[in-house]
Amino acid sequence: MPALNETHDLKLRSWVSSANATDTDFTIQNLPFAEFRRKNSDEAFRGGVAIGDQVVDLAAAQGLFNGEAAIGAAACAEPTLNNFMSMGQPVWSALRLALSRALREGAAEQSSLESCLIPQAEVEFSLPCTIGDYTDFYTSVHHATRVGKLFRPDNPLLPNYKWVPIGYHGRSSSIDVSGQEFKRPCGQTKAPDAAEPSFGPCKRLDYELEVGIYIGKGNDLGTPIILDDSDEHVFGLCLFNDWSARDIQAWEYQPLGPFLAKNFASTVSPWIITTEALAPYRAEFSRDPADPQPMPYLSSEQNSAEGALDIKLEVLLQTEAMRIRKEAPVKVSQSNFIHSYWTVAQMVAHHTVNGCNMRPGDFLGSGTQSGPEHEEGGSLLELSRGGKESFALPNGEQRTFLEDGDAVVMRGWCEKEGVARIGFGEVVSTVLPANQ
């Protein structure tokens, strides 16, 4: 896994002054990647790196780097990051190091690189890469148990859950970048007291607070990715809102699992935080001794010592009425990725253990990330206890599930004493009325 190096040094400061603010997501120790262009322009999308409130335009910065960093920067100038992501850790790290050195206070490259900066407030984003395949996992035991209790009170957690990282193949075509607006889905639902299902707009629309995982370097068909080699293949992470129509889901999910309840919209944050940037926030991964311990292909000393990631997560809600009155979104829950029952490495190793080949840009969802306490629920299904309990917003509005016009904001960040803050930015998306 990526080792700590000079790019993680807490003492580093940037000549981009906004990157030195204590509350910025995009410190010089972060340097995440995205695809962007100027707002309201017909420019081609190209790769950029966040530094403070600015974006380094990597297409404009051609010629400022050498060796593998130059190769990486040239690939980042393309309309998607797939080619760059395919190049592997040596190139990723070389470009990250070159950018870190060029953006530090006193860097000789300052005068050349200043002209390559564009304020983030002036840009728009596309998906950072072409997502070929998307798999959604189910890695929060707290979420799985709470949801299980709602539908199977006598058997909330199925016996395979603690043995195997559960996942399903999702729909990549409906994944979009932050700012996505989508229409409330329609489908079949069946009320508990109804003799037959009915058709119409979803009434129990929900969000799911997830972490997204981008595959960089792929593997050959028939060749599994070994647990401790996963970081050679995982390019980085983002925030992920996997929207869910709970009433459609309740009617259709057996016997084959999620379908129309999940494939109408999913939203990612624009910035990919590299695995190298997250290295200081690796944490110990352990399993309750009373639980089944991971099988050998899902277990290693390295994964036990540093497999977990300490990423703070929160969900905020802004209703249409709040937006009209220019009221800020309000927090409805907060959790942490460290509660995940399975690590990123375990997800990748299990996904490929049967020989499945992954390709640059393939995407994994972590599943809803909920903490052990009720208020740490990563979905409204949990917070409203299956729609049985509404909760009040500060303006007096009530919610059990989402209403038309609601915007959901998710944020994530890593922060602890003695280490630079690493932020994920945010993912925002808004519910529109259904097609009728």
List, as residue ranges, the binding site for Ca(2+): 136, 208, 210, 242
CA–CA gap between residue 55 and residue 52 (Å, rounded)? 8
Closest CA to 309 of 348, 273, 338: 338
Closest CA to 346 of 219, 271, 241, 234: 234
The answer to whether the peptide bond before residue 394 is cis (omega within 30 degrees of 0) is no
Phi, psi of 25 (to 5 degrees): -80, -25
Cβ(75)–Cβ(119) under 8 Å? Answer: no
Question: Strands 419-432 and 180-183: what pairing?
Answer: parallel
Output the six-digit token pair for 278.
């997250």
Q: How many CB atoms lie within 10 A of CB 84?
A: 27
CA–CA gap between residue 128 and residue 30 (Å, rounded)? 17
Q: Which of these is catalytic: 143, 233, 350, 351? A: 143
CA–CA gap between residue 143 and residue 340 (Å, rounded)? 10
Q: How many CB atoms lie within 10 A of CB 222?
A: 10
Residues annotated within a binding site for substrate: 138, 152, 249, 253, 368
Closest CA to 140 of 379, 302, 429: 379
- Has 142 been annotated as catalytic? no
Output the six-digit token pair for 333.
């829950």
Residues marked active site are found at 143
